[in-house]
Amino acid sequence: MTTECCVAAPLALEIVWQDGQITSMRLAWGKGKTRSVTSEAAAALQAALERYIAGEPPEWPELPLRWDGLSPFARQVMEALCQVPYGQKVSYGWLAAKTGHPKAARAVGRVMAGNPFPLLVPCHRVVGASGALTGFGPGVDMKKYLLEHEGA
């Protein structure tokens, strides 16, 4: 297992590699993080992260993401979420209905909590039915920052 780290202040995105595939990413505040980009994939991700921080839609590169271990439902939710445009928010209930499971908002929340590819699969765009900023692995303050940054 190896790691690389993309940094574009104020964010950092750590990439975890195993057997030529990305197994997970960790989103964090960039303060104190050191950029360590050696692969072409990480260089492409670094450029996309810089575009994102500059306020442009990032056009995330195609990456060798390892989707193993996700249930068919989780994969369906993640794929539907990837269709939510930059700068828009959706609710857990909306995402559940979009996948054909209108009563599965809590299950959608569990999928979001286990999202191995934050930013690429934009779980920060999912909010409570009232618009409340609910749980987010890197913290609700980062979720607020990302949504405000996107103009959502």
Handedness of CA 14, 15, 18, 23 (dihedral sign): positive
Cis peptide before 138 (omega within 30 of 0): no
Q: Residue 139: CB partners within 8 Å, gap ≥ 6?
A: none
User: 5, 6, 82, 123: which one is catalytic?
Assistant: 123
Of 47, 50, 58, 49, which Cα lies nearest the Cα of 82?
Answer: 58
Of 84, 77, 49, which Cα lies nearest the Cα of 63?
Answer: 49
Verify whether residue 5 is a known catalytic residue.
no
Residues carrying an active site annotation:
123
